Amino acid sequence: MNADEDDELLPGGCHMCLAIPGKIVEIFPDNVNAALIEVAGVRRRVDLGLLEDDRPVIGDWVLIHVGFAMSKISEQDALDQMHTLAMLGEADAAMQEIRGYGTEEEDKNYQSN
């Protein structure tokens, strides 16, 4: 496959994966490696296992990639990252990725709480 074919397969011809900032709103007591995060009003479950050396707590901001919290960041860094995504025209794609982390059943459970 050449680069032109790749551009046709990916929305906007995007070739990079960006981490998305999310705020931890809940850490599940039955699995401390799982948390509920919120990104622009959308809540999803993410895995915290990669942050064992710097355990996040409720209220912390993390960068998320494919359902995993990759690092803790400040709230200002999270706002800057969302601004950068918007400037790059990737904000909608980022939100679609976040929506894809959960299942419909999880969505129903989170919305009923």
Beta bridge partners of 91: none
pLDDT (tens digit, 9 = 90+) per residue, 14-55? 545 568 899 999 999 999 899 999 988 889 899 999 999 999
Let me know if domain 17-112 sits in CATH 2.30.30.140: yes
Burial class (CB in 10 A: 0-12, 13-18, 19+), 37: buried
Boundaries of every domain in the chain:
17-112
- Look at residue 104 and tell me whether its pLDDT is greater than 50: no
What pTM did the predictor assign? 0.68
